[in-house]
Amino acid sequence: MGMKVYINQEEIAIFAGARIQDAILACSADLWKQVSHGELSVFDRFGNLTDPDGPILDGQHFTLKRNSEL
């Protein structure tokens, strides 16, 4: 059974047990490249910096921000 999560307000259908990095990659390979190269950081819906290797739950929201804007 799959889950729905949100990356920058875009709904992503992802497999159960996925990590944040899996959802970012499903959203955009280019976004994942920027995250993995340290150009973008991942924040949860409360604005907390989040590890891309972290687990996700159905319905979670994540925002990617440029590190130069932080």
Q: Is the pLDDT of residue 69 over 90?
A: no
In the predicted structure, residue 68 carries a pLDDT above the cut 90:
no
CA 55/CA 37 separation, integer angstroms: 20
What is the reported pLDDT for 70?
Answer: 64
Cα dihedral 7, 17, 57, 67, rounded to 10, equals -40
Indicate if the pLDDT at residue 66 is higher than 80.
Answer: yes
Average pLDDT score over residue span 27-52: 97
CATH number of the domain encompassing residue 59: 3.10.20.30
Domain hosting residue 14, numbered range: 2-69
The verdict on pTM exceeding 0.85 is: yes
The string of pLDDT tens digits covering residues 3-39 is 999 999 999 999 999 999 999 999 999 999 999 999 9
Q: Looking at the 3D structure of the chain, how many domains does it have?
A: 1
